[in-house]
Amino acid sequence: MSREQTPSNRPIWLAIIVIVAVLAAAGAGFALHLAKASPATTLTGAGAAFVAAMTLGMGASRFLSS
């Protein structure tokens, strides 16, 4: 007997995590821009927000899938 193969939904969750991370980075960058931060600080803050959101999302995905 063979088990029925179901497609993995991991790529969909990865896309959702990336979209949320991009939105978090854009929000952080916009908030820093409104606070009149320098362009370097704004880009660094947006990048840090992206990395933090991706790390949190991938960690939560790993935790929930095991």
Task: Give the start-to-end residue ranges of the domains of the chain.
Answer: 11-65
Q: What's CA 20's distance to the chain center, in Å?
A: 5
42-43-47 Cα angle (round to 5): 120
What 8-state DSSP symbol labels residue 62?
H
**According to the model, what pLDDT value does residue 24 have?**
98
Distances (CA, A) of 13 to 40, 57, 59, 65: 31, 9, 12, 11
What gap in Å lies between CA 6 and CA 3, rounded to an integer?
A: 9
Quick: pLDDT tens for 6-37. Answer: 678 889 999 999 999 999 999 999 999 999 99
